[in-house]
Structure 1
């Protein structure tokens, strides 16, 4: 009777029953062979094992049966659908394989480059930095492990700032913040009479900007591992250069340096970087000088990308609408961070010219897209560039950008425009 009952068990199963096959030896009574157990389950939903579970081979009983022609058509459609899914899976697997291969290749390149930089270049920096081989390696991107040191050496320390001097200005900043918090209500009532530098070096503005610095990384915001460090570097700088104070955009530059250098070295490099002519012109908001930089940029813009230049002119899109943000943050806000670091590599090698070459490279890379856009969409696009932008595509566009106009390089064009501005100012007086 037991065997008959077991044999009949499958017939009792329905959509609310789970049938399990068990091998011998697992039960309390022992014994071999296979048994079939049916467990009644309420409202149990199964995930399909494959896409076949989504297709009803036969229509429900209350509907007419499928014709042979319809059955064949549905079968062909299903097979085509499955084949398409398999093709997509194979394509995706191949893409991931290529991506992994490229990643391993890049890791090998970086590993080899790191050895060269550490053993051959950095120990002999002064004699090696200008050689063709080093400049080519530099263009390919600095290994992350040596990036901070190379930046620091390339930017230099003309201001002769020491770690001890940093500690002095940091102490002043902390004292200033303490007194600021104690007298914040008084400062608020007298803010109208405060100078621009005083207002912009305020704790509130620095705090606000830090909260907006690389928000996706969650490391510079309140409670993050680098929040206090960034706060210290920016605060110390406002005490070191009260004539400049804090200007929006500085937080991005300081943050990138902090990611690659120790605290005191980051401050030293930060102060010296901002002391460069181009950065000083922008952070002091020297309108006349900024206009000359924009004019020089447009000379090379028209030379390299005449169609896009004309399109921008037609839409009244002037360089200040996108260049200011790029220069103020050295592209670290608009570009993905890894790409921005590559831009910084070349900036440390070539100086301010590379910043404007990068801008032209971006415009060249997205020329076809930008030609289809109007004023508003161009401005929005250039403010926040695509997150999937790859370094090699940007640097390929930059390599095809020539910084020579009528046999004059960037420095010559820029200086000529600045001299003309000085003479124009003298004559007007």
Structure 2
């Protein structure tokens, strides 16, 4: 397939790049889309049109006129903006106090310096090419590559026919003759070769050759036409989506200014199901999680816990960086609690390496240190609250990462994290153990008969099984046959609000809706997820539990649920009445 870089290199040879009239020097590969589509239309009349179209196609990619029009179709992959910023911040602050823990405990601290390097020897692309690759629309590029490939295939018949007709005028020993290329010893046979016929079969008649090549061209033209239509639909949807996002952002601003009144309107419910604006997400989450509620801890207590966490982190760094083994052992004996803190920090650091690794946002740098600070502070506070003391913190590391990214403030992150874990369903699922939610159905039935299991758990299981039977009866029967407890699956998914199972952008959208809809959203999302990936869940009990990470294991493999908007629609349609 033809890559964008190949087209750029050709255009640099044929057309000089004029950037003097563009002070921003902003280049994108989405300009003059319609012109590019026209240039990819197959034309089998002559070979000269091929090179002319290629030059014109290359010229369009480098033409920067009307750059504002192109940007409205620009698609950026999730987190493409903050990946580069986090890398540069990590490399620039490797020696600063804010990233000291990262340089000592993170396994990727050395890689961060390389990823943030701006050395022309390490990154040989020109400034124009860098801008092009940073701003490229991946879906658009795929469509253009497919059309370019089809265009090249459409000229295959014409090229081969011309080579076959000229074969009699060439030297039989020539390396460029079709006969020698196809290892055909008989020179007269080369004039009967066709791209639509294998060489080991008898040659076609002239009528068959003409008919089949015409059919071949028609098929390719139909495919190119379909690609054009898909691309036009994508452009239209993208334009409508961006217009809707701009409109929703203005509506959310009005809601924030009169929150208590407007948030109760049914029209506002449609807003949070569509998406929350990135610039207002932190304010809305804070209002929903804290608002006017009474906090589990006073602000002064939270601040003290964060300051103590910084001190603990600094002492752990000092102990870890001590090279003299004798001095190190003396410090460990003098402060045995510090050794336990170091072990906890090391365990959290290892888990952080698997927290949304595709983003490269939490594995090193200031974000790494901020997450550790919040975790250490929460560890010192959870023993002071009965609802929090039995929580397994290692299962909630991804939640802390998400809150750290949204709020970018340790105090707000800690207070919202405590409020989130105090909600009924996540709290019960995090605090429950094997004696309350066993891994198999037989023990679960025994617990229900002995009435040692709360009625809340029983109601959740009954309702979940009821709707799972309606949505995916085959999967429900498989769970019964394999002795798979659906309540344990709900526990593994709901306790961390899917942060251990789903990609970052999907979890953000799920949490957006959860803060408004409540615990029922977690059950609906669990049903939608099981239905979406049901084809992967017909294995043994251990395989199903490992795939869904019900035991809280964190790794870099996230479940693929497709496009975010489609999955959110699946969640909304789960319990919708016909």
Could you tell me the TM-score, scaled by structure 2's length? 0.52
Match of 1:257 in 2: 403
Quick check: 210-219 or 246-255, which moved more?
A: 246-255
Structure-to-structure mapping, 1:8-407, within 5 angstroms: 50-51=152-153, 52=155, 55=160, 57=164, 58=167, 59-60=178-179, 62-66=185-189, 70=204, 72=206, 73=208, 77=212, 79-119=214-254, 121-156=255-290, 157-159=293-295, 161=297, 164-180=300-316, 202-223=344-365, 225-242=366-383, 243-244=389-390, 247-263=393-409, 264-287=411-434, 295-306=458-469, 307=473, 308-319=475-486, 322-367=489-534, 369=535, 375=541, 378-379=544-545, 382-383=548-549, 386-387=559-560, 389-402=562-575
Contact kept, 8 Å, 2:500 with 2:558, in 1: the verdict is no
Show structure 1 runs of 5+ residues with no match: 1-47, 405-429
Q: Classify the secondary structure of the residue corresponding to 1:212.
A: coil
Quick check: 315-324 or 246-255, which moved more?
A: 315-324
Match of 2:116 in 1: none
Contact kept, 8 Å, 1:282 with 1:328, in 2: the verdict is yes
Q: Could you give the per-residue CA deviations for residues 34-93 of structure 1, whole angstroms, max 9, x where no partner exists?
A: xxxxxxxxxxxxxx9944467452552732523755364556555544544443343334
Cα offset, 1:102, TM superposition: 2.0
Contact kept, 8 Å, 2:493 with 2:548, in 1: the verdict is no
Cα offset, 1:105, TM superposition: 1.9
Q: RMSD of aligned C-alpha atoms?
A: 3.7
Cα offset, 1:175, TM superposition: 2.4
Q: Could you give the per-residue CA deviations for residues 311-331 of structure 1, whole angstroms, max 9, x where no partner exists?
A: 211122223554343223311
Alpha carbons of 1:166 and 1:97: their partners in 2 closer, same or farther (altered >3 Å)? farther
Quick check: 349-358 or 288-297, which moved more?
A: 288-297
Alpha carbons of 1:123 and 1:283: their partners in 2 closer, same or farther (altered >3 Å)? same
Q: Equivalents in 2 of 1:85, 1:382: separation in Å?
A: 43
Cα offset, 1:249, TM superposition: 2.6
Q: Bigger relative contact order, structure 1 or 2, given CA contacts below 8 A and separation 6+?
A: 2
Q: Could you give the per-residue CA deviations for residues 285-315 of structure 1, whole angstroms, max 9, x where no partner exists?
A: 4455557566444322332232132221112
Contact kept, 8 Å, 2:479 with 2:485, in 1: the verdict is yes
Q: Could you give the per-residue CA deviations for residues 376-399 of structure 1, whole angstroms, max 9, x where no partner exists?
A: 664465456653522333233323
Alpha carbons of 1:181 and 1:257: their partners in 2 closer, same or farther (altered >3 Å)? closer
Q: Equivalents in 2 of 1:248, 1:74: separation in Å?
A: 68
Q: Could you give the per-residue CA deviations for residues 311-361 of structure 1, whole angstroms, max 9, x where no partner exists?
A: 211122223554343223311232232222221122101222211111012
Contact kept, 8 Å, 2:493 with 2:501, in 1: the verdict is yes
Quick check: 172-181 or 334-343, which moved more?
A: 172-181
Could you tell me the TM-score, scaled by structure 1's length? 0.69
More strand by share: 1
Cα offset, 1:218, TM superposition: 0.3
Alpha carbons of 1:366 and 1:257: their partners in 2 closer, same or farther (altered >3 Å)? same
Contact kept, 8 Å, 1:281 with 1:289, in 2: the verdict is no
Q: Classify the secondary structure of the residue corresponding to 2:358.
A: helix
- Higher-Rg member (1/2): 1
Q: How many residues align?
A: 349
Q: Equivalents in 2 of 1:94, 1:377: separation in Å?
A: 42
Contact kept, 8 Å, 1:330 with 1:344, in 2: the verdict is yes
Alpha carbons of 1:87 and 1:386: their partners in 2 closer, same or farther (altered >3 Å)? farther
Q: Equivalents in 2 of 1:319, 1:151: separation in Å?
A: 30
Q: Classify the secondary structure of the residue corresponding to 1:148.
A: helix
Q: Equivalents in 2 of 1:325, 1:50: separation in Å?
A: 51
Match of 2:65 in 1: none
Show structure 2 runs of 5+ residues with no match: 1-148, 168-177, 193-202, 321-327, 384-388, 439-453, 550-556
Cα offset, 1:215, TM superposition: 0.5
Cα offset, 1:172, TM superposition: 1.0
Contact kept, 8 Å, 1:147 with 1:260, in 2: the verdict is yes
Q: Could you give the per-residue CA deviations for residues 142-164 of structure 1, whole angstroms, max 9, x where no partner exists?
A: 22222222121112253265665
Q: Equivalents in 2 of 1:218, 1:241: separation in Å?
A: 29
